[in-house]
Structure 1
Amino acid sequence: MTIDEVEALIKTRTRNKVRIHRLEERVGDSVAFLSYSIDDKNQMTIWHTEVPPSLQHMGIGGKLVEEAVQLASRDSSRLRIVCPFAKEHLARHPELKERVTRCCSSLDREQRIIERRSDHGRSVAIDL
């Protein structure tokens, strides 16, 4: 998805006024990005991470997710993750669990569950 497509998606999916932000990593002419929003209740939602093929498998997507989690933790934001890549990344990196748990401690149990695909295609829940 392009940056404009992601921002249009966020606008159609949110009912509240939100500020849309993105983190970017540029390498040459290629740009990887993570789009997130912050609503009037200080909830950060990670919507989408996009890494062009030329930048994949270099750790750039994970770096963007970790940076977003760090922002949420620093700003004491509640964190909601919609992006499948971000969910997968956090599921693969348990060392980030403490940081996510700190910033998400006020969320309901259902909102603190990260789903990921196991090797067998089943959905596995990881409770933070």
Structure 2
Amino acid sequence: MDLDIRHDRSAQRFETRVDGALCVLDYRLAGGSMTITHTGVPPAVEGRGVAAALTRAAMESARAEGLKVVPACSYAAAWLRRHPEFADLRA
């Protein structure tokens, strides 16, 4: 699935729309860390890899900006465990 993921820095959010449904990953920045607080995908569009794509976008952004990541959201924590190539980002 080709998603148009937008990084809204002022809202501290990554977002995309799938079939009209807003899908989000919210985070907080503090002290050189990105704390992922919430990943939300509406039930109508679950199971399509949207949350994974949002999480990957956040991790790639954190890496590019030299940030560490605190996966406070349970989905982000599980995703990070399944992707050891991003383990170096864990705060």
Tell me the TM-score normalized by structure 1: 0.58
Moved over 2 A (4+): none
Instruction: List gaps (5 residues or longer) in structure 1.
Output: 1-18, 108-128
Give the equivalent residue in structure 1 for 2:52.
62
Task: Describe the SS at the equivalent of 1:26.
Answer: strand
Cα distance, 1:53 vs structure 2: 0.6
Residue from 14, 17, 20 that aligns with 1:23:
14
- Cα RMSD (Å): 1.6
Task: Describe the SS at the equivalent of 1:63.
Answer: helix
Give the equivalent residue in structure 2 for 1:36.
27
Cα distance, 1:89 vs structure 2: 1.8
Between Structure 1 and Structure 2, how many residues are aligned?
82
Give the equivalent residue in structure 1 for 2:5.
none
Tell me the TM-score normalized by structure 2: 0.80
Cα distance, 1:20 vs structure 2: 4.8
Larger helix percent: 1
Residue from 60, 72, 75 that aligns with 2:65:
75
For CA contacts below 8 A with separation 6 or more, give which structure has more relative contact order. Answer: 2
Task: Read off the aligned partner of 1:72 and give its amino acid letter.
Answer: A
Task: Read off the aligned partner of 2:58 and give its amino acid letter.
Answer: A
Cα distance, 1:78 vs structure 2: 1.6
User: Percent of aligned positions with the same letter in both sequences?
Assistant: 28
C-alpha contact (below 8 Å) 2:80/2:86 kept by paired residues: no
Q: Which structure has the bigger radius of gyration? A: 1
